[in-house]
Amino acid sequence: MVTKKRQSDVVMAKAFIDNPSHKDLRQFTVQMENAHTTVYGNYDVFTRVDSRSTSSTYIVTDEP
């Protein structure tokens, strides 16, 4: 059974950063254990899909 969250169920964040600088974003990314440096000196974050929701799955085709 799928239930939708009500607005009253939303947990408020203790803090958030509005419009972080480029330097701050890089620092946050460096702290992620799944972030790896590319050959160009940037960071690439590897993710894994744990589950898939049927409501988020779309089939695209040229034939009806």
Residues 25 and 29: their CA atoms lie apart, in Å, by: 6
Classify residue 35 as exposed, middle or buried by CB count within 10 Å of its CB (0-12, 13-18, 19+).
Answer: middle
pLDDT tens-digit readout, 7-59: 566 778 888 888 999 999 999 999 999 999 999 999 999 887 777 666 777 77
The residue among 47, 46, 44, 48 whose CA lies nearest residue 26 is 44
Confidence of residue 1 (pLDDT cuts 50, 70, 90): very low
- Give the per-residue pLDDT at 14: 85
Give residue 13's identity as a one-letter amino acid code.
Answer: A
pTM: 0.51
- Give the per-residue pLDDT at 13: 81
Give residue 4's identity as a one-letter amino acid code.
Answer: K
